[in-house]
């Protein structure tokens, strides 16, 4: 089962400034898109569907919606 990756405007704006945005999007699909609760992610403030993970050198804050199989990235902080 795979999840669709969606980017909220603030995360999409940050992603637009990343050099290898296509590569990052592909990595997101291969990791969080396949298992949004895995890949070293942690629940934020005890909320199971509000998560944080580090993917390709970026901190990703996202929400998981199991009913519509979507991961919505709300914040993206690049480390480089």
CB within 8 Å of 48: residues ≥ 6 apart: 37, 64
* CATH label, 4-78, candidates 3.40.605.10, 3.40.50.300, 3.20.20.80, 3.30.2310.20: 3.30.2310.20
Over residues 14-73, the pLDDT tens digits come to 999 988 899 999 999 999 999 999 999 999 999 999 999 999 889 999 999 999 999 999
> pTM (2 decimals)?
0.92
- DSSP for 28-59 reads HHHTTTT-TT-TT-EEETTEEEEEEEEETTEE
So where are the chain's domains?
4-78
């Amino acid at each position: 089962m795979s999840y669709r990756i969606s980017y909220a405007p603030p995360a999409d704006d940050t992603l637009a400034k990343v050099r290898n945005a296509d590569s990052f999007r592909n990595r997101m699909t291969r990791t969080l898109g396949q298992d949004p609760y895995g890949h070293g992610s942690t629940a934020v403030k005890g909320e199971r569907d509000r998560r944080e993970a580090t993917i390709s050198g970026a901190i990703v804050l996202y929400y998981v919606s199991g009913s519509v199989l979507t991961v919505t990235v709300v914040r993206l902080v690049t480390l480089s």
